[in-house]
């Protein structure tokens, strides 16, 4: 230590009155108040474009070419989404990133009875090649890089895209973009899977094989940490599990006989970017270092195979329903972190996405955030401008070491496929999410406008409203028209060949392309595969003992006492069903509620994913619950929750109280109240206060502080 450090230490001790000002992050990293040369001693991050690529995959980075502005969007119909895309491209967006609705994700045509509330709500409905052609009408696929977030129904969606390109006159070899095709993270956190893990991994390998042979400009997989981030993963968990997923895919492709250096340069990654600016910068830098090392260990000879190229998206989970204009600032901070970390493309979330799909107005602000960073801020002038920062270099190394330890743990379990099947990553991520939520609830983690500096009154926002019934009717009409005009014998032959190929060893994407050409629908292609592979299902198992651990919180203690009092009066613990209806698999909020209420002393029934209102009502009656907490994140609440309440009444149980939580626009609150919902809790709601409301409605006289809207 230098004399200067000693001088600083003396001054710091005096200013802090001897208090320890270091902070521990959720990653278990202790941040010092100041960093110096000794913290980065022995660290050589090299130069951008040069192994180990810590400082970026390309030598000149944004000085040569800025990142691609690739906004993720899709809603309603193919025609509506196409118009939205064309407006955004005209305004400066450079690439397309397509969001599909949940019916499409889960392999159902729009006329399937299980998806009545999901069609067109959280993305665009795509039932056939005809829809895909409309989606890209007037958008030249020979010139446009297209990213598609699709995993479960990846075969029909990619097949539709290939055929739509063909019918535009674009050869497969000229198509550019990315298909997500990351099924392991679906089993870990996002849950939009269709088939069991083993055949799902075969599909991944078949797509890698086909695209490496037929589509040399197209990225065959986008290995996604983003959805782990959204589920509550720490930066270390997101980093480690994402790279471990990548290792599993590489091994699957190698196991299918593919040459590593033939397909590895087309692998890409996708990370979420949160509010801890320097942590996120360090995460991207550490990711590149680790991937280069991993690929070398797996046998890569080409330097291109060792490059980690990534898309990033600002955090959805950091967006708040309360004081939503603050989200503009949050997105800006996160976008800056992604850029300083060296991303290759970026999506910036709109400020209103905690309540609904973005409007043109909010989408313009989100897009312009990137344009201002690229054109006005000066960040594109220098490759890796934070390189050499003692803090950033030390943090990068610490993330690298901690992530490697988690990767080693996964490897000890036999790799990520087995670890996912055992539920290891899911449990770890849910524990981290519960720990963070608890810190927010007690104010230890500050969220401006939510648990500190709250507005006395929230202003109403204009939001995008999708008429689900109208969209579904239009999709069904187009499906019927297509089915009447196609050659049924050709369709049947193509689907039979696909089913036989699934039973054998044929390339499933190649067969899916033939089925798409014949005008087989998405649901028909998915069903052919399901007849061989089956449809996968799991039941949630919420973590326990995390949310309430080591809490020093009066409100928590009051809620625990209230739960005990209600249990004594009832002669049993109060019972809550946490219901996930519709095809939305995002279960972070539902899992948090289950974990917190369980720690408070409730008996929690965690309902299976993808229930219909009837199935949820039948389960509520069978389990004799007192309360149903209906979680909605994908805009199905106006259809699904009133139907649940109606069915509970029909079953003779109108006394079961129904709460709603998740992404619900305030404009819809009154409609839900009129339908019988007794409490509504959006993103940022304090779970302990929610529990207090439930206890009051069960007859307990909780103290009045902190009443949420249900108790007002």
pLDDT of residue 538: 80
CA distances from 659 to 273, 388, 452, 641, 711 (A): 31, 51, 25, 9, 12
Contacts with 170 (C-beta within 8 Å, 6 or more apart), sequence order: 140, 141, 142
pLDDT of residue 666: 85
Residue 550 banded pLDDT, cuts 50, 70, 90: low
How does pLDDT run across 203-231, given as a tens digit for each residue?
A: 999 999 999 999 999 999 999 999 999 99
pLDDT at 443 over 80: yes
CA distance 511 to 532: 15
Of the candidates 491, 503, 497, 492, the residue with the CA atom closest to the CA atom of residue 531: 503
pLDDT of residue 121: 84
Matching residue, tokens 């770890």: 428
Segment 634-644 shows an average pLDDT of 85
pLDDT at 71 over 50: yes
pLDDT of residue 704: 46
pLDDT at 1 over 60: no
* Segments in 448-553 forming alpha helices (H): 468-485, 488-503, 508-517, 522-533
- The secondary structure of residue 506, as a DSSP letter, is S
Q: How far is CA 97 from the centre of its chain?
A: 14
- Mean model confidence pLDDT for the chain: 92
Helix 488-503 to helix 508-517 angle (10° resolution) is 170
CA distances from 514 to 135, 159, 161, 480, 510 (A): 20, 8, 12, 20, 7
Residue 514 banded pLDDT, cuts 50, 70, 90: very high
How does pLDDT run across 603-615, given as a tens digit for each residue?
A: 999 999 999 999 9
Provide φ and ψ at 494, rounded to 5°: -65, -40
Of the candidates 453, 486, 472, 488, the residue with the CA atom closest to the CA atom of residue 639: 472
- Helix H or strand E segment including 221: strand 221-224
pLDDT at 107 over 80: yes
SS (H, E, C) 397-466: HHHHHHHHHHHHHHHHCCCHHHHHHHCHHHHHHHHHHHHHHHHHHCCCCCCECCCECCCCCCCCCCCCCC
pLDDT at 545 over 60: yes
Contacts with 698 (C-beta within 8 Å, 6 or more apart), sequence order: 566, 574, 626, 627, 657
User: Would you say 60 and 48 are in contact if contact means Cβ atoms under 8 Å apart?
Assistant: yes
Question: From the CB of residue 264, how many other CB atoms can be counted at a distance below 10 Å?
Answer: 26
User: Would you say 510 and 543 are in contact if contact means Cβ atoms under 8 Å apart?
Assistant: no
Helix 522-533 to helix 197-214 angle (10° resolution) is 130
Segment 471-483 shows an average pLDDT of 94
pLDDT at 708 over 60: no
pLDDT of residue 138: 93
Segment 295-318 shows an average pLDDT of 95
CA distance 690 to 686: 6
* Residues labelled catalytic: 72, 226-227, 580, 584, 586
Matching residue, tokens 């503009």: 328
pTM to 2 decimals? 0.90
CA distances from 577 to 472, 620, 681 (A): 29, 6, 16
CA distances from 247 to 180, 184, 226, 250, 414 (A): 16, 11, 17, 5, 12
Matching residue, tokens 């061989």: 532
Residue 197, both tokens: 């893990």
SS (H, E, C) 57-98: CCCCHHHCCCCEEEEEECCECHHHHHHHHHHHHHCCCCEEEE
pLDDT at 711 over 70: no
pLDDT of residue 707: 40
């Amino acid at each position: 230590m230098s004399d200067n450090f000693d001088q600083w230490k003396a001054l710091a001790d005096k200013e802090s009155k001897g208090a320890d000002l270091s902070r521990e992050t959720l990653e278990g990293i202790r941040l010092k108040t100041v960093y110096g040369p000794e913290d980065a001693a022995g660290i050589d991050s090299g130069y951008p474009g040069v192994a180990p690529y810590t400082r970026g995959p390309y030598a000149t980075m944004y000085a040569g070419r800025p990142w691609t502005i690739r906004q993720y969007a899709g809603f309603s119909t193919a025609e509506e989404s196409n118009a939205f895309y064309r407006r955004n491209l005209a305004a400066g967006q450079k690439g397309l990133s397509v969001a599909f609705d949940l019916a499409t994700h889960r392999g159902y045509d729009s006329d399937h009875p299980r998806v009545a509330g999901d069609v067109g709500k959280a993305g665009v409905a795509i039932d056939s090649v005809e829809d895909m052609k409309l989606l890209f009408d007037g958008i030249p696929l020979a010139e446009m890089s297209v990213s598609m977030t699709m995993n479960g129904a990846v075969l029909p969606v990619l097949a539709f895209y290939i055929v739509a390109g063909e019918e535009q006159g674009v050869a497969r070899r000229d198509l550019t973009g990315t298909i997500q095709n990351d099924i392991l993270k679906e089993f870990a956190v996002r849950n939009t899977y269709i088939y069991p893990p083993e055949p799902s991994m075969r599909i991944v390998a078949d797509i890698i094989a086909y695209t490496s042979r037929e589509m040399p400009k197209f990225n065959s997989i986008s290995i996604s940490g983003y959805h782990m981030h959204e589920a509550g993963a720490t930066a270390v968990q997101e980093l480690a599990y994402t790279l471990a997923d990548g290792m599993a895919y590489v091994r699957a492709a190698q196991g299918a006989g593919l040459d590593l250096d033939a397909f590895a340069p087309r692998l890409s990654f996708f990370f979420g970017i949160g509010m801890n600016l320097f942590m996120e910068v360090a995460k991207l830098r550490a990711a590149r270092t680790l991937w280069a090392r991993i690929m070398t260990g797996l046998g890569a000879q080409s330097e291109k195979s060792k490059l980690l190229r990534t898309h990033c998206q600002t955090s959805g989970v950091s967006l708040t329903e309360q004081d939503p204009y603050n989200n503009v600032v949050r997105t800006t901070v996160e976008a800056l972190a992604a850029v300083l970390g060296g991303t290759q493309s970026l999506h910036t979330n709109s400020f209103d996405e905690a309540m609904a799909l973005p409007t043109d107005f909010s989408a313009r602000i989100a897009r312009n955030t990137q344009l201002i960073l690229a054109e006005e801020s000066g960040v594109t002038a220098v490759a890796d401008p934070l390189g050499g920062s003692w803090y950033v270099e030390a943090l990068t190394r610490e993330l690298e070491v901690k992530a490697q330890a988690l990767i080693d743990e996964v490897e000890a379990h036999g790799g990520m496929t087995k670890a996912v099947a055992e539920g290891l990553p899911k449990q770890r991520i849910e524990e981290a999410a519960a720990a963070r939520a608890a810190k927010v609830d007690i104010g230890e983690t500050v969220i401006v406008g939510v648990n500190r500096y709250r507005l006395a009154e929230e202003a109403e926002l204009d939001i995008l409203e999708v008429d689900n019934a109208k969209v579904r009717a239009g999709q069904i009409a187009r499906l019927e028209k297509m089915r009447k005009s196609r050659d049924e014998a050709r369709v049947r032959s193509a689907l039979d060949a696909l089913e036989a190929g699934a039973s054998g060893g044929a390339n499933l994407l190649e067969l899916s392309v033939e089925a798409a050409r014949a005008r087989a629908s998405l649901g028909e292609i998915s069903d052919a595969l399901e007849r061989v592979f089956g449809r996968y299902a799991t039941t949630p198992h919420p973590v326990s003992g995390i949310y309430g651990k080591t809490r020093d919180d009066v409100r928590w203690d009051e809620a625990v006492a209230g739960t005990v009092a209600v249990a004594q009066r009832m002669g049993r613990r109060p019972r809550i069903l946490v219901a996930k209806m519709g095809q939305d698999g995002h279960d972070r909020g539902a899992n948090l509620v289950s974990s917190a209420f369980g720690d408070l002393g409730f008996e929690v029934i965690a309902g299976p994913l993808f229930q219909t209102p009837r199935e949820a009502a039948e389960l509520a009656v069978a389990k004799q619950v007192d309360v149903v907490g209906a979680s909605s994140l994908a805009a199905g609440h106006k259809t699904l929750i009133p139907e649940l309440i109606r069915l509970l009444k029909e079953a003779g149980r109108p006394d079961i109280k129904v709460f709603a939580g998740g992404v619900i626009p305030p404009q819809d609150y009154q409609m839900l109240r009129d339908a019988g919902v007794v409490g509504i809790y959006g993103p940022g709601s304090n779970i302990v206060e929610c529990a207090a409301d439930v206890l009051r409605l069960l007859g307990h006289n909780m103290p009045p502080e902190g009443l949420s809207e249900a108790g007002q």
